Structure 1
């Protein structure tokens, strides 16, 4: 009958929702197409018909609004448009604005943009407020039970929609779908095989079964080759099915074992030529690895939890994820029953370090307790006959940062002298950081060059990208082109292994700003400031914005726009006052130093005195001599403003002693040097500068103290009675 009706004319046949009759429909369509030359068929189904001439048009979930989209951008997302239209039908006047957008975004994203789920959710707005709906979707299958009275039963509730698809699967397809559902980070052939262990499904069957689930729209192909993803709503349904059968714990045990072994296998490869491949694997499986770590914590596996957390630690270090490290190390260490071991002690030291990074506002008592515990950990670590290489390397850094330099240097020296080239390179980086704070730049230079050689020998891109900016810091005092080349190479290498944290990117931007200012590249400086500001705003970091504001103030100060510089400094100081969670002594030193320069430009000597005192007090707290050298340079500028050119030259020499190098490229230092030579003569200036340069560092710290300087200035230039 159909052939008679459709043959000999142009026709379109629509076959809707035919997955439950897929074989019969496929045979029907194939027969019709062979007899009706003008026929076109449009079929909607959860799987292909698999007939000749079929062209697939996969229909994924509706597009979702981005997490940072504003109202206008969000309104263009298909999922939000559908929800808004259906919501307005049951609640006249409903619209998306600044107030409702956060909750609407939660709704459409939690429902994966599934059209029927969105329609069911919108219908609940008859009886629920929008916040109640968004909160209630944590139990979506209970909440979304009200559909159209005229719809087919399988379309009236969200659970019925999913159950309809589930029931059409073969027994082995259902097994695989349920077993992969607890994996939040997606599934591969290997992970699917691991979680299906102990079932009737054979490993050889799994590739075809995964392909079948893709055909039936229960899995989606992920962008990464060989990876599949399941929508959150489907994952929840599958997990519920496992819980009902009592298999959920077994599957999570299997998954935890598989991903723990995977992280243990790929973690060492992060430190060598296999770094890029290992980074891709760990990044792809990161959510699954965290789920495995959570399961080990929840099930009381203290040893397994610490081991897995340590296997993720270097990944966290590479990408600057201090908050992840602090949280998960803390969770693993909180599992009862863990006995002291080298790994556990190292995990505790790393936890304290990363906690300090994300809890900067801790009290003096908390900080003292952390230092005391670090000392105990250091004593235990040094008492072990031998430490695993990775553990000793990771333990050295917190010891150094928490001012246990002597103990840290003992561990570092062991690694420098060891047979592991990569560990030797890392140890030299740590030692260079300690030496740089002490102004020992000759030692820094030696260790940086050796570390760079080690990382190049092992083909570690992260190591090179970390070390090159340190060399750029050294080269900037004399070789700006070389310093820029180092930063360019570091940026290129970093781009290969992944995105670093926004905070780290901002601090890299600040290095570019410094170099461009030294070169006098106005346009490039402005562009780098804009980039840094945009990242600081995205990171929502008051401390980073303070640093960007201060460097921009330097920029405008150099260009002579004193009003703009003052405005930025005022904002930076307000930021420091508001951001009580961050000690910010480095930032306070920089702000105070730039404020001193501004006051001197304005002829406000009293204001310069006050700002310099504040900068010096903050710099002492940093225990960072190159930072203190900034104060010394401004002390030299203040002495010059009082007419004491000889004292200014001595202070310039003391500044060089504190930083450990003569700075030949900084504009302020060059100007002070030029004016000092003009006032004193070349030989007298050189002798005064040499006097400051030859001071020991302890004396240099005292020499640049503003209070001492002001006493000497008053003695040299007494105020008339």
Structure 2
């Protein structure tokens, strides 16, 4: 395996850089890129790509051609000039989107650079090779635009089975992020079929957690657990997933046990993940685990411990780690808001959830906005505004694309609102939120839209 010879390969790469062999260094870094990504060696990738790309070279010109219809079964060998553009694209990927579920805010600042690279990769002389197409589609997947959708659609219908699987996986993630779960189910099934066809365990281990989330939304918690178990087994077979992918599996695993009301087991899993976090020295993982455990401790009534954990997560965000983008601020803000609600502090929860809502909207992640919306429904219930709570719960379901009635907080709030309003009025209010289009549902989730009761009003029954 490459892992056994990794030090020797790096020694060769160092020699190529030290002797100024630009083409050799670029070629080896591009060959190593997928290995680095699969195992989460992003620091190595960024370091060596930066050194290789910085070596003096002569840039070839690339006349424009039409976009490809898909990768060829036997793509042509890529010229040194094309491989340099691939390396530049890979370096840009590591700069604007540190690998993980969270997209860095700097993407907006470098959109033109990104699309210029995509154009050079796809529109160079001759048909683009495998590496060029792979890098282009990964770059394009960072933005949900019609141009990026066109590229992934063409690859999904192309003749290269593995690239088609990857394109379907990107489409599934985008559809889930936009609350289009029927499309996400179709694409993740197609991705799994293609990865099985070519025998790619990495692809299967990467796609299965997304199918597990969709099964959770459908109420199939046993099926979701089975998918996560298979993903972990496959990852052990080929070595490991990247840290971000491993964290995604761990968080899904923890959430499923909370959905099953197995909070003790969820706590054990968090403790085990913390052991790994200590070994990895990853501040992002620590923030995630602090926030997730704070949510769990709030749920189980251990509020002092929950406060300690959420303060730790907030401190981590303030240190400007890569995790501290809009998505991270929204996630930690929701946890703080849930704690404020449990303490009965409506004004503090309103302020915290207002910030979380703004961050979630900026993240353009509709499931994250849905998570904030559920907490906003909790704020409405605290104020006795059960009609608003029902509408916002329906809007949250619309944003995530599913009702997710296995979620403990959703069940509790729905039961409270139904008891206060009566079944008919609750169903009508909830349905009005569920029928909203996405922009309206996003607006309705804003805590500022709640009719906060006056300070001298009696507490709700």
State the TM-score, normalizing by the size of structure 1: 0.57
Higher relative contact order (CA 8 A, sep 6+): 2
- List aligned pairs for 1:605-620, cutoff 5 A: 605-620=346-361
Structure-2 change in CA distance of 1:696 and 1:520 (3 Å): same
Contact 2:171 2:187 survives alignment (8 Å): yes
Q: Which of 348, 359, 362 pairs up with 1:621?
A: 362
Matched, 1:497 2:238: yes
Query: Residue 9 of structure 2 aligns with which residue?
Result: 289
Q: Which whole-Å CA distance do the structure 2 matches of 1:652 and 1:669 have between them?
A: 7
Query: Residue 557 of structure 1 aligns with which residue?
Result: 298
Q: Which whole-Å CA distance do the structure 1 matches of 2:201 and 2:392 have between them?
A: 40
Structure-2 change in CA distance of 1:499 and 1:378 (3 Å): closer
Query: Residue 63 of structure 2 aligns with which residue?
Result: none
Alpha-carbon distance, 1:558 to partner: 1.6
Query: Residue 412 of structure 1 aligns with which residue?
Result: 152
- Find the residue that maps to 1:583 and give its secondary structure: coil
Contact 1:326 1:351 survives alignment (8 Å): yes
Contact 1:505 1:535 survives alignment (8 Å): no
Query: Residue 101 of structure 1 aligns with which residue?
Result: none
Query: Residue 195 of structure 2 aligns with which residue?
Result: 455
Matched, 1:442 2:182: yes
- The structure 1 segments of at least 4 consecutive aligned residues displaced by more than 6 Å after TM superposition are none
Deviations 1:121-176, CA, capped at 9 Å, x for gaps: xxxxxxxxxxxxxxxxxxxxxxxxxxxxxxxxxxxxxxxxxxxxxxxxxxxxxxxx
- Find the residue that maps to 1:307 and give its secondary structure: helix
Contact 1:633 1:651 survives alignment (8 Å): yes
Contact 1:639 1:648 survives alignment (8 Å): yes
Alpha-carbon distance, 1:367 to partner: 5.2
Deviations 1:105-126, CA, capped at 9 Å, x for gaps: xxxxxxxxxxxxxxxxxxxxxx
- Find the residue that maps to 1:434 and give its secondary structure: helix
Deviations 1:247-295, CA, capped at 9 Å, x for gaps: xxxxxxxxxxxxxxxxxxxxxxxxxxxxxxxxx2x22222222222222
Structure-2 change in CA distance of 1:646 and 1:369 (3 Å): closer
Alpha-carbon distance, 1:680 to partner: 1.8
Contact 1:359 1:581 survives alignment (8 Å): no
- List aligned pairs for 1:520-559, cutoff 5 A: 520-559=261-300
Structure-2 change in CA distance of 1:563 and 1:531 (3 Å): same
Matched, 1:390 2:131: yes
Indicate the larger mover: 486-495 or 611-620. 611-620
Gaps of 5+ in 2: 61-80
Q: Which whole-Å CA distance do the structure 1 matches of 2:98 and 2:390 have between them?
A: 41
State the TM-score, normalizing by the size of structure 2: 0.88
Instruction: Provide the alpha-carbon RMSD of the alignment.
Output: 2.3
Alpha-carbon distance, 1:688 to partner: 1.2
Alpha-carbon distance, 1:404 to partner: 5.9
- Find the residue that maps to 1:476 and give its secondary structure: helix
Matched, 1:310 2:30: yes
Q: Which whole-Å CA distance do the structure 2 matches of 1:458 and 1:699 have between them?
A: 43
Q: Which whole-Å CA distance do the structure 2 matches of 1:330 and 1:663 have between them?
A: 44
Gaps of 5+ in 1: 1-279
- List aligned pairs for 1:111-150, cutoff 5 A: none
From the CA coordinates, give the structure whose radius of gyration is larger: 1
Query: Residue 465 of structure 1 aligns with which residue?
Result: 205
Q: Which whole-Å CA distance do the structure 2 matches of 1:541 and 1:323 have between them?
A: 12
- List aligned pairs for 1:357-368, cutoff 5 A: 357=97
Contact 1:350 1:395 survives alignment (8 Å): no
Contact 2:395 2:434 survives alignment (8 Å): yes
Matched, 1:482 2:202: no
Q: Which of 351, 372, 384 pairs up with 1:631?
A: 372
Structure-2 change in CA distance of 1:349 and 1:666 (3 Å): same
Q: Which whole-Å CA distance do the structure 1 matches of 2:351 and 2:413 have between them?
A: 21
Q: Which whole-Å CA distance do the structure 2 matches of 1:633 and 1:619 have between them?
A: 13
Contact 2:172 2:188 survives alignment (8 Å): yes
